[in-house]
């Protein structure tokens, strides 16, 4: 794939290097030549110094033929405009923008862009870890708005149904693993102590689920 990485800071340089290691044709664009020093010495992709919002610079970088573009500077407005330009004017098939400041996230979402909000996702992940190890995050969608969690059924919920346990609107059952065998879960699935349950839900939903488990245990 031919991929353009706009911004050569810590994120951009690592992304460009990883893509190059996978055999992709990578071009890195940054307005400060010194930022290219962030790239590992053995990087052999292309680099372009210039104003990243300049269409001429982007054309020289090959945006018209690009298969993907990642706008990962530390300025959200630049990421939004660059990604929108790539998507709407040059019709680059895969465009991703970095959200640096969570306060600017609604602006990037208004452009309909795929975005990665590392600060928001990181804060949520740390929050989850602080709650303890009773739930494990198996998969995170988007920027963590919806995740798939795994937890073990405690003795107090033996014989009860999964539907009784889950908050109705914020969690959905996915699978139950018992004695090493997994089956698709349904609200009527009867639980056994030690079952491993996979659910999809929001952070609020999982907090409600934790509270439900705790209430049953205390009762």
What domain range includes position 135? 127-218
Interior/surface letters 146-169, b for 16+ CB within 10 angstroms, e for the rest? bbbbbbebbeebeeeebeebbbee
Q: What is the CATH number of the domain that holds 205?
A: 3.30.70.1450
Q: What is the mean pLDDT of each run of 10 residues along the chain (219 residues)?
A: 96 96 97 96 95 93 96 94 94 95 86 85 74 72 83 88 87 90 91 91 87 70
User: Do 108 and 168 fall within a single domain?
Assistant: no
Do 110 and 17 belong to one domain?
yes
pTM as predicted: 0.68
Last residue within a domain, chosen from 102, 119, 136: 119
Name the token pair of 24. 């992709």
Rounded-to-integer distance, Cα 106 and Cα 90, Å: 23
**Number of neighbours of residue 203 by Cβ within 10 angstroms:** 17
Q: Do 57 and 39 form a contact (C-beta atoms < 8 A)? A: no
Residue 65 sits in a domain whose CATH number is 3.40.50.720
């Amino acid at each position: 794939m031919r991929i353009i990485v706009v911004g050569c800071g810590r994120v951009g340089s690592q992304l460009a290097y990883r893509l190059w290691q996978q055999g992709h044709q990578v071009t890195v664009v940054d307005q400060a030549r010194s930022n290219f020093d962030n790239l590992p010495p053995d990087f052999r992709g292309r680099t372009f110094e210039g104003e990243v919002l300049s269409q001429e610079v982007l054309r020289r970088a090959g945006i018209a033929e690009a298969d993907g573009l990642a706008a990962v500077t530390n300025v959200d407005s630049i990421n939004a405009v660059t990604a929108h330009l790539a998507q709407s004017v040059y019709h680059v098939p895969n465009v991703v923008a970095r959200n640096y400041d969570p306060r600017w996230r609604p602006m990037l979402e208004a452009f309909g862009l795929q975005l990665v909000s590392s600060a928001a996702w990181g804060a949520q992940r740390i929050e989850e870890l602080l709650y303890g190890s009773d739930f494990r995050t198996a998969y995170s969608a988007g920027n963590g708005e919806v995740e798939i969690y795994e937890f073990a059924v405690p003795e107090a919920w033996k014989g009860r149904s999964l539907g009784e346990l889950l908050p109705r609107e914020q969690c959905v059952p996915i699978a139950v693993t018992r004695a090493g065998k997994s089956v698709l879960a349904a609200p009527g699935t009867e639980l056994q102590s030690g079952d491993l349950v996979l659910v999809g839900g929001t952070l609020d939903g999982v907090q409600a689920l934790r509270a439900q488990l705790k209430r049953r245990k205390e009762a």
